[in-house]
Amino acid sequence: MKTDWMTKGLLVFVGSGLWAMALMHGQPVARAQTSAIPNVIKAHKFELVDANGKPRAALAVSKYGAGLGLNDVTGTTRAILSVGASGSRLDLSDAIGKTRVALGVDDGPGLALYDANEKIRAAISVDEEGPALYLADANGTDRAILGVTQTVNKVTGAATTSSPGTLTLYDKNGNVLYQRP
């Protein structure tokens, strides 16, 4: 089993490190194992497994940033906390591993709620233009936005940005049905 091999390898690595630290500090090995706790342990990834050897948590760094993943008893990832170049994010997943909630901070804070097909159905965000609440249909098409909205005039092609307190309602094709103020 790959996990067993990785777990044994990690234990050997950590044990070797403790042994080396004990020798470097001139302490007996038995004393080092009970009282010497390293200040820093460095690795690219740490994995925690349950009594059956199933991965339950992982802390890792990649080219995209740092992340912490938490798995349920079946091994399905249910929560991911990540920090990358553009900000931080917490994703929560359902029992089959599909993202259902995402909370993040990039240009501003945002919260997105997903349906069972991982389409965003509702979102709230705050950016430099102000707060906004978005509601979408099952196809991911905006159906209502309360807040700053950009619309394009189909005749002239001119783009218009609404004020932060604007309510905009759309039809199933994304055409504006109503907008106030």
Q: For 30-60, how does the pLDDT look when each residue is reduced to its tens digit (9 = 90+)?
A: 544 556 888 999 999 999 999 999 999 999 9
Of the candidates 97, 81, 99, which has an alpha carbon nearest to the alpha carbon of residue 89? Answer: 81
Between 81 and 18, residue with greater pLDDT:
81
With bands split at pLDDT 50, 70 and 90, how would you rate the model's confidence at 151? Answer: confident
Amino acid, res. 131: P
Q: Are 47 and 6 in contact (CB under 8 A)?
A: yes
Same domain, 143 and 166: yes
Same domain, 49 and 37: no
Q: Are 101 and 120 in contact (CB under 8 A)?
A: no
Same domain, 14 and 50: no
Q: Are 55 and 3 in contact (CB under 8 A)?
A: yes
Domain span at residue 160 reads: 108-181
* pLDDT (average), residues 77-93: 96
Whole-angstrom CA distances from 79 to 3, 93, 115, 133 are 20, 6, 16, 24
- Say whether pLDDT at 17 is over 70: no
Same domain, 82 and 139: no
Same domain, 37 and 67: no
Give me the pLDDT at residue 154, please. 81
Cα 101 from Cα 98, distance rounded (Å) = 9
Q: What is the dihedral of CA 158, 163, 169, 171, to 10 degrees?
A: 20
Q: Where a domain ends, among 61, 91, 106?
A: 106
Same domain, 79 and 118: no
Same domain, 115 and 178: yes
Same domain, 118 and 178: yes
Of the candidates 59, 57, 64, 20, which has an alpha carbon nearest to the alpha carbon of residue 38? Answer: 20
Same domain, 126 and 170: yes
Same domain, 2 and 48: no
The pTM score is 0.73
Same domain, 49 and 29: no
Count of CB atoms situated within 10 Å of the CB of 94: 14
**Total structural domains within the chain:** 3
Same domain, 112 and 68: no
- Say whether pLDDT at 68 is over 50: yes
Residues with Cβ within 8 Å of 162's Cβ and at least 6 positions away in sequence, in order, are 148, 149, 150, 151, 168, 179
